[in-house]
Amino acid sequence: MPSLKDIKTQINSVGSTKKITSAMKMVAASKLRRSQEKAEAARPYSSRLEEMLSSLASSAASGEGIIKLLTGTGNDQNYIVVPVSADRGLCGGFNSSINRETFKLVKSLEGNGKKVQLMPVGKKSRDFFNRVMKDQIIESFVDLNVSSTGYESALNISNKLQELYFEGKFDKCILVFNKFKSAISQEVTQQQLIPLDVSNSEKEEEKENSSNAIYDYEPDEETILKDLLPKNVSIQIFKVLLESDAGEQGARMAAMDNATRNAGEMIDSLTLKYNRTRQAFITKELIEIISGAESI
Amino acid sequence: MATISFDLVSPENLIFNDDVGTIIVPGKDGDLGVLPGHSQVMSSLRPGRVMVYSEDKNLVKSFFVSGGFAEINPEKCIVLAESVVELNSLDKSSIEKEIEELGSKESKESEEQLLIAKAKLEAITVSFYDKI
């Protein structure tokens, strides 16, 4: 049976853990609000860009150079997979679900005879894939801090990807990231980044207004498309980074909330145990005194 | 006199959104003056000034954009720009320093940045379009 002092130390240590987790929860909650605002602020740009792109996409039947971002290389042998995780842990299953999903995707692609390379974003997925698939990592990006550095961070990734793409290093690029659904739930999502998948947005636009397509293009459609496509890659990455950032804070908030609650429960049961032990101790001493007095 | 709704959007946020009288945007092939009822145009932009005027032709705001796109229709003008700064927050000496630094480097990226920085310098030194 543990002594009173042991239990007391245990209560104290759980108590300080609780303080830490509840502080982390508060921090995550306020960061979440900021990340959400950022994600919201980025929305008008990306939706506009998508609209423009889908109205232009039809004009690019086939092509060389930059247009290949839209039409593809005509192959699908080499893949590059970009898992987007957080830089820090203590956020529940946030990082591990990304890693697991990516791992599964890579294995299934390889099962179909494709060649897969990895470009992890975020420390947690870099470290994971450094352990399990080290020789497939082509590049990694860590310490992005998208909420403070903003668009620049997405530009770096996008430039690197496009550089590799035009060197013919890969044919398809797939992003794996946590989509922000609500403050407490994220959904692991796969998104094909290159070549661009316009089928969804195109349909929507057709529904909205089919008459809106009579634009004058300056200088001409192709030039605009050539400018637009690389930007679109960057903005898609930016959007994903922001979503993932908001998701991370949400996941951390939920995880820390849980931890705080668990610590509270633990303190309660330990306190009960402490009181019982103390009571038992007093009773024992009383019995000793009484039986001592009786024997005299 | 009619107004046209104008949105200036950067990847990070919506910078300007209001009804205005006239806008001048730096199109790739030359500046575009946009008035209410402009025909539908989609244009890519070069680095330069975006000038916003009120209905009675007074300059309301001026921005520097490093490139982007403009979508114009009779009621609305939307400018998507990658980086946007307000013109009067730019500082001439710091840009000159930047140009000097970039000039000494030799890479494709810094060349592009140099072009933008030069356009920036031009944007704050010239004064046409201040009054229309």
pLDDT in the model for residue A27: 94
Q: Which of B5, B46, B69, B85 to mutate to test the interface with A (most CBs of A within 10 A)?
A: B69
Res A207: pLDDT: 41
Nearest partner of A91 among A258, A203, A293, judged by Cα: A258
Measured in angstroms, the CA of B15 and the nearest CA of chain A are apart by 10
Interface of A with B in 34-73 (CB under 8 A): 38, 41-42, 44-46, 48-49, 52, 56
Looking at the whole model, is its pTM more than 0.90?
A: no
Looking at the predicted structure, is the pLDDT value of residue A185 above 60? yes
Q: Which residues of A touch B41 (CB under 8 A)?
A: 215-218
Q: Do A150 and B13 touch (CB under 8 A)?
A: no
* Alpha-carbon gap, residue B54 to B73, rounded angstroms: 18
Q: E-strand spans in chain A? A: 78-83, 115-118, 172-182, 185-194, 216-218
C-alpha distances (whole Å) from B95 to each of A1, A115, A152, B122, B130 are 74, 46, 19, 10, 21
Nearest-by-Cβ selection for A223 from B12, B39, B44: B44
Give residue A59's pLDDT band: very low, low, confident or very high (50, 70, 90): low
Cβ contact A123:A142 at 8 Å:
yes
Mean pLDDT in residue range B116-127 = 84
pLDDT of A208 > 50? The answer is no
B79 vs A56 pLDDT, higher one: B79
Give the mean pLDDT of chain A.
Answer: 86
pLDDT at B100 over 90: no
CB contact under 8 A, B69 and A52: yes
Torsion of CA A162, A216, A63, A241, to 10 degrees: 20
* pLDDT of B27 strictly over 80: yes
Instruction: Give residue-wise pLDDT tens across range B33-70.
Output: 999 999 988 899 999 999 999 988 899 999 999 888 89
Mutate to test the interface with B, among A147, A155, A157, A215 (most CBs of B within 10 A): A215
Instruction: List, as own/partner pairs, every contact residues B86-94 make where C-beta atoms lie below 8 angstroms and the sequence separation is at least 24, other chains included.
Output: B86/B61, B86/B62, B87/B49, B87/B62, B87/B63, B87/B123, B87/B124, B88/B62, B90/B64, B90/B120, B90/B123, B90/B124, B92/B121, B92/B124, B92/B125
Q: Does A167 touch chain B (CB under 8 A)?
A: no
Provide the 3-class DSSP secondary structure of residue A153: helix
Q: Residue A206: is its pLDDT beyond 50?
A: no
Whether the pLDDT of residue A211 is over 60: the answer is no
